[in-house]
Amino acid sequence: MDELSLSFTRELTKLVDDYFKCNDEKIKDQIHSDIVLLTEAFMICDAP
């Protein structure tokens, strides 16, 4: 796994962990948006 993929994976793992630990729905929605954005960015960077 290259360095960029590893960075994305680490950040995504942190966000998912934060999402499941969060009790505030507003913050949870923001974290979900961050997860979606990071996933989309990863897919764009990983595209041929």
Question: Locate tokens 């897919």: which residue?
Answer: 43
Here the tokens at position 11 are: 């950040």
pLDDT of residue 1: 55
Residue 17 CA to residue 28 CA, distance in Å, equals 11
Place of tokens 């041929």: 48
SS3 category, 1: coil
- The answer to whether the Cα torsion of 31, 11, 1, 43 is positive or negative is positive
Residue (of 1, 44, 38) closest to 16 by Cα position: 38
- The pLDDT tens digits of the residues spanning 1-47 come to 588 788 888 999 999 999 999 999 999 999 999 999 999 988 887 77
- pLDDT for residue 20: 97
